[in-house]
Amino acid sequence: MTLHARILSILSCFLVTLTGLLVGCSSSNDNNSQDEEALPPNILFIVMDDVGIDQMTVFGYGGVGPFDQAPNPPLQPYDRSPQLPNIDAIAQQGVLFRNTWSMPACSTSRAVFFTGRYPLRTQVFGALGQYDLANYQVSPYELTMPNLLKERGYQNALFGKFHIGLQENNPFGNAMVSALGWDYYSGWLDETGDPSSIDTSAGLGEEYEGRYMCGFVPSAAQDADYGADIGACYTAVGQCTVMRVAGGIPPGRACRDSGGILDPNQSCNTTVPANIEDGFNTLSGHYVSPLWINDEEGRAIEVPLTDVRARTYRGIVPVDGAIDWITSRPAGTPWSATVSFSSVHTPVMQPPQALISENAAAVSRLLCAAPEGASTELQNRVLVEQRELTTLMVEAIDAELSRLLVSIGAATRNEDQSLELNPDSNTMIVILGDNGTFGYSVKMPFDPVRAKGTAYQTGVWVPLVVAGPMVNTPDREVGNMVNIADLYQLFAEVAGIENVHDLVPRTLDSAPMLPYLTTPGVESQRDYNFTQVGTNHQAGGAINAPCTFATSCSQIPVSKSVCHDNSGIWWGDEPDEPGVPAGGYAQCCEVNQHLYDQGEPMVALQPLAAEAVRNDFYKVVQNHYVGDANPDPAEYPNCTSNTTTEFYRINERAPIPQLDREADNLINPETGLPDDPAEKVIFEELLHQLTLIEDSVQPCPPGPPAGYVASIDGNQDGVVNDTDLENVNGFAEAGGSSWYDIDENGTTTATDYTLVNDYLGIECAN
């Protein structure tokens, strides 16, 4: 038996035991024999990437103002509202949840809604990077949503973005999606979990790098030096077509959108030029992606970059895959399909024109990034245009969502092309934003400096819409607090699994959601809400290196390329700035020390970790730093740890909500407390609730001695026993990172076996 098969066997035994506790080991054959009328609903789960509630007019927000289609858009800010007729129609035929909290980052949120457990339990604290250890990826020992549903006879598939594991330090490598319980996966397994940088050579090779900021050759009118209104469009299989400007779309964009590479101002050759042939092996943002399939046998299959599926816009690929899979499901078998878009994650790019309604020529002129050495004026213009690109990408999601629903029979189009849900499809539809919008794309009046990556409202307040056969009295809103952990419980409730907290043998953080669907006006299921973000560990305790923006420093970007994609300056290994050690700096406070020494202005620090808790009207935010959050130029910066605590009134009023803006902090800096006595009581109660949540997770062993970093109960079954020793041996055969890398040095070895063996028989809270 291979190591991979042995590990899967261990996991299978564990999950059979666990799910047997849940449902008495019912079999899918039993479900298939049921009368079709009695089948639980199918579940279609739509996840939008970096789409906060600020983008949504159906919630009463979305910004204001039209897009200026002039050749050179003016520099004043504008906030054109995304036009989302299909999401609007689904909301009108379902329930709109207007008070939903996510976690501040994508991996963190996904881990929460797929396990029903907060980050402090799964240890997925932040957006995963390629060097993060398996200890900080979703464990195969978690009872994930697909494993929960599987024992009710559901077939489960995931399409698109994964990003709760990364192959570099995951023992299952590119088969990790199967290891977490999905029966089928088709999506992108990028090195960082997110889209690669844009290929600014447009597939033409190193000589052309930096010319084409959106990954395609623009028109001659847009770029007199390097643009083209005609060219030879080559496909990966060697076919060639001469293309010209058509409908305002330059041939470079049309060729790129079809999966090809344009040779500008050239005719077709019988032989593909060598530089273009090489160009078909280059990744590029949302258009050329590392597509992988985990099939029903658990095999990981790489789709070559020359395959048109790997060269298709990311807003289309997961929908194509979901349609094919859903429409091939056997009758009488319920299914759950998660369609996980990577829109609108950076780098932002023009979607295919067929998915949007804006003027094609104006859209083609938009710049996705500022070229190297760009003037301040051009950089400002790019920031404005990136906002419009974000809006276009959200609109493209809406268009593809309509195609998906109609293709699987969950909806039809009326004569006016409006979307009407089909109740006979027996399909629950859940639409969610995974976290708040990225700063430069935040719509007014939300707070762009307290957006994605922060525990403030703009960073964690997300859209959630649910529609389908379990919705009683549609076209209504729910204003009660909901956490994305509650979706785990909703999926269980839809499948007919009751009392999921009693049945899952570990701590869940979910609250019921089904009552909101079935009983209009039902009382709130939550008294408090919670969110959290932090840093994942790399070997030896390292974390992401610093990346600075105009006036701030963050350690959220997981690599140099991600830092650059977000218009940042990299201070880690191979730093961008001169006079920095070759290995770079490990902390943002060290960057400030460098800037101080150079006589340059220091930057504000983004917190390394944060958590927030709220009730219906007030919110506490705690931010954790290494160094001074806002260093005083009169004092030399330091690298000591500190925590700030803030207190705000908040509400969800539309169109102008009360947000947790810096100026509205209710804490008196002299006393560290609110001045109002009644608010002081609320503040202390929220701090108490935060302490209860944090104290609900204890290290195992308690007060771990030297050498112990991770929990020794790697399979999270609540006891350290011979099974843990068997598991650590299995992972040690591979020697890499695993959930039994107790000392977190990046390898699972005999040392980890000894650390586990030292505490055989003790119990661990899970």
Q: Contact, 401 vs 360, CB < 8 A?
A: no
Q: Are 105 and 127 in contact (CB under 8 A)?
A: yes
* Token reading at 126: 């932040």
First CA to last CA distance, the chain: 31
H or E element in which residue 19 lies: helix 3-23
User: What residue ranges of the chain are covered by domains with CATH 1.10.1330?
Assistant: 698-766
Which residue type does 160 have? G
558 near 191, Cβ under 8 Å?
no
**pLDDT at residue 8, rounded to an integer:** 54
H or E stretch at 389: helix 376-407
Q: Which pLDDT value is given to residue 360? A: 95
Amino acid at 220: A
Count CA atoms closer than 13 A to 422's CA, side-chain side: 15
Section 313-342 average pLDDT: 97
pTM: 0.94
Mean pLDDT across the chain: 92
Give the span between the Cα atoms of 500 and 512, in whole angstroms.
Answer: 10
**How far is it, in rounded angstroms, from Cα 67 to Cα 69?**
6
- H or E, element range at 231: strand 230-234
Task: Summarize pLDDT for 490-530 with one digit per residue, the tens.
Answer: 999 999 998 999 989 899 999 999 999 999 999 999 999 99
Q: Which CATH class is domain 698-766?
A: mainly alpha
> What number of residues does the chain have?
766
For 578, what's the count of Cα atoms within 13 Å in the CB-facing half-sphere? 1
Distance of alpha carbon 107 from alpha carbon 287, whole angstroms:
22
The two three-digit tokens of residue 344, written as one number: 């609108």
Q: Which alpha helices (H) appear in 631-745, and where do they start and end?
A: 677-695, 722-734
Question: Of 403, 398, 406, which is closest to residue 427 (Cα–Cα)?
Answer: 406
Rounded to whole angstroms, what are the CA distances from 540 to 198, 459, 737, 747? 32, 30, 12, 11
The whole-angstrom separation of Cα 458 and Cα 455 is: 8
- The per-residue pLDDT for 34 is 43
Q: What mean pLDDT comes out for the span 682-706?
A: 94
How many C-beta atoms lie closer than 10 Å to residue 567's C-beta? Answer: 18
What is the CATH number that goes with domain 50-135+298-332+350-525?
3.40.720.10
Strand 240-244 relative to strand 261-264, pairing: unpaired
CATH 3.40.720.10 maps onto the chain at 50-135+298-332+350-525
620 exposed, middle or buried (CB, 10 Å; 0-12, 13-18, 19+)? Answer: buried
Q: Are 208 and 273 in contact (CB under 8 A)?
A: no
Q: What is the pLDDT of residue 37?
A: 53
User: Would you say residue 386 has pLDDT above 90?
Assistant: yes
pLDDT tens readout for residues 66-91: 444 333 443 334 578 999 999 999 99
- Is residue 634 very low, low, confident or very high in pLDDT (cuts 50, 70, 90)? confident
